[in-house]
Amino acid sequence: MTDLFTPLDLGHTTLKNRFLMGSMHTGLEEAKDGFHKMAEFYAQRARGGVGLIVTGGIAPNLQGRLSPFGTQLSFPWQVKKHKKVTKAVHENGSKICLQILHAGRYGYHPLIVSASNTKAPISPFKARKITKLEIKKTIFDFANTARLAQKAGYDGVEIMGSEGYFLNQFLAPKTNLRKDEYGGSFENRSRIVQEVIQAIRKKVGEKFIIIYRLSMIDLIKDGQSLEEVITLAKSLKDLGVDIINTGIGWHEARIPTIATMVPRAAFVFISQQIKKEVSIPVITTNRINNGDDAKKIVSEGIADMVSMARPFLADPDLVAKIEQNRDSEINTCIACNQACLDHIFKNKICSCLVNPKACHETEFKNSKTSSKNILVLGAGPAGLAFSIEAASLGHRVTIVEKNTEIGGQFNLAKVIPGKEEFHETIRYFETMIKKYEIDLKLNTPITIEDLKPLGQFGQGYDEYVFSTGVVPRVPQIKGIENKKVLTYPEAIRNPDQVGKRVAIIGAGGIGFDTAEILLHSQSTDSVQEFFDHWGIDSLYKERGAIKSKVKPSPKREIFLLQRKTSKHGAGLGKTTGWIHRQSLKDHEVQMLGGVKYKEINDQGLVIDHENQEKLLEVDNIILCSGQYSDNKLYSDSKSVLKKRTHLIGGAKLAQEIDAKRAIDEGVRLAHSL
């Protein structure tokens, strides 16, 4: 039986296992000294055991760049910097392919071209219809980039033909309105793909890996049909392709495909269907973040390889831990997008919420220091991240936590429908506490007396780290003491005690999360339920594999209120905020902005909205109106403990309960001591 660690023979070369580190643009490609930093980033993943790495997308020419200053590989003088990357990967035992990505109408600059004159909803620029002469030049540019990649030491290239980029734009009737030999019939629409592959194979010879990233399911109206996808897939071997990689959905599709609310391995069905039609290896992808799913996919013949991208941000040693049966030590990707994709769309360097060292490896020396005794007050994300990092560097760490479990605010997040992955982060913290023999004292509240010289924690520690978290903010509203009023922790922990009609005060992330848990009867990761909600046709009856959404049956009637007149959830993640807003809209949540809160009484909540006083007759009013830093103990202790105190996480800054910032602060503090 084939398993994840069975080598994959491609004829002219062999991959040592069935793991692919999928393509991710990191922002290092354009950063100062970025290729040096990128070399260390990929080297760590190679040391961690991954069989094959694919780089972030590199443009073949100026028109194909993702951004005005985006990276391209077109000239011999550019080869040298890429050699830093390939050398680092090869020295650590892995192979690496360069992804050639022509953005087409997805480019964020005025020089973009596409199959036709069209404008993508995710770019402010309208694409110009590429001429036939320019098509020939672009085909040459693809082949030229592949040849330069070969000279730079790459083991192959991946041709980006999915996610709605340039080649995909030729394949779909939605964006290909041409009347010449590159438009009309599928034979014509796929012509450029075939010519690009043939030109690359001719330029690089036979002993060079070519992966084609095939859009197997476009998830847009007037996308490709299943028959067309299969037809192209069947032709790829004869064209010179070694491996077919799976592409899921266009970037402009209003359907989530990789965010945390997408069930694990939800889209492997289409890879399996295509695999039955072809004789070359097929890679599957999207929301695969653990060894068990990966093992099942390969052992059951669903696909020949498994692509994980963000999971390698979260844990560079992912493959080694799976091979050594250390799955509980995996720092699992929670698919939040907050530090990876959200950063990229803000022109920031990519990283990872649960592993802030990702893409910043050169900033951390990871060397052992003189050992200190450290007391950490609070076992939320910031305190736990600090403790584990400090213990790994050789410090002796004690954690005291007033509650009976670790995790802090993550214990609220983990029960929100669509955020179940937060369980994994808490599991990881628990495992590492045991591994590094951290002294964990639960159910241990501390007062200032305990920190004084004669107190139980007043001596024997070199440093004190306060990560005492936040407390919910209670707004000043007449009648706020009414029994109808609940704080968000009370509502999230006891949703069955909340009535059928609810007003939520506050439309930030916590307000959205509270609405989600109250709308669903129970948490679910049903793939079919997800497909029905978002209109995904797994039977692929129509082009693009989309269908009408199944109208959900909300469990409650909810009013989501905010004082601001701006968009609800304006502070949510750039790549996931639209998903949360659409979900609440689908569940008929009434979103009201510009609200003034007048009074809470036994009938409900009295508000002023659009210059009219209204009574919302609700069973409960839930306060999601922000938080205060719980840092009084820290303030009181400074005179006692002097300069040995540190403040991190929500206790330092309560705004938005930013776990990304909290974990980053914890890890960086550990390296600063």
Catalytic residue set: 165
Question: What is the rounded distance in angstroms from the CA atom of residue 276 to the CA atom of residue 296?
Answer: 17
Question: What are the tokens at 138?
Answer: 């672009």
Bridge-based pairing of strands 463-466 and 305-308 is unpaired
Residue 267 amino acid letter = F
- Residues 83, 357, 33: CA angle, nearest 5 degrees: 35
Question: What is the rounded distance in angstroms from the CA atom of residue 536 to the CA atom of residue 546?
Answer: 5
Q: Which residues of 83-114 are buried (b: 16+ CB within 10 A; e: fewer)?
A: ebbbebbbebebbbbbbbbbbbbbbbbeebbb
Question: What is the rounded distance in angstroms from the CA atom of residue 425 to the CA atom of residue 668?
Answer: 19
Helix, coil or strand: residue 100: strand
CB atoms within 10 A of CB 597: 21
Question: What is the rounded distance in angstroms from the CA atom of residue 102 to the CA atom of residue 124?
Answer: 17
Residue 509 amino acid letter = G
Question: What is the rounded distance in angstroms from the CA atom of residue 266 to the CA atom of residue 440?
Answer: 38
Beta bridge partners of 616: 605
Bridge-based pairing of strands 19-21 and 305-308 is parallel
Helix, coil or strand: residue 659: helix
Q: Which residues contact 568 (CB under 8 A, 6 or more apart)?
A: 507, 512, 560, 562, 581, 591, 593
Per the CB < 8 A criterion, the answer to whether 214 and 283 are in contact is no
Residue 417 amino acid letter = P
CB atoms within 10 A of CB 257: 21
Q: What's the sign of the alpha-carbon dihedral 649, 314, 218, 213?
A: positive
Helix, coil or strand: residue 64: coil
- The greatest distance separating any two alpha carbons of the chain, rounded to the nearest whole angstrom, comes to 87
DSSP state letter for 25: -
Closest Cα to residue 236, out of 221, 254, 216?
216
Beta bridge partners of 14: 9
Cα–Cα separations (whole angstroms), residue 286 to 89, 254, 268, 313, 547: 24, 16, 8, 15, 21
Q: Which residues contact 375 (CB under 8 A, 6 or more apart)?
A: 398, 400, 457, 461, 463, 464, 465
Closest Cα to residue 666, out of 408, 453, 324?
408
Question: What are the tokens at 128?
Answer: 């110009």
Beta bridge partners of 373: 396
Strand order in the sheet with 596-601: 596-601, 604-609, 612-616
Per the CB < 8 A criterion, the answer to whether 431 and 511 are in contact is no
CB atoms within 10 A of CB 602: 8
Question: What is the rounded distance in angstroms from the CA atom of residue 562 to the CA atom of residue 505?
Answer: 6
Helix, coil or strand: residue 634: helix
Q: Which residues contact 215 (CB under 8 A, 6 or more apart)?
A: 161, 162, 163, 164, 168, 171, 223, 224, 229, 247, 248, 250
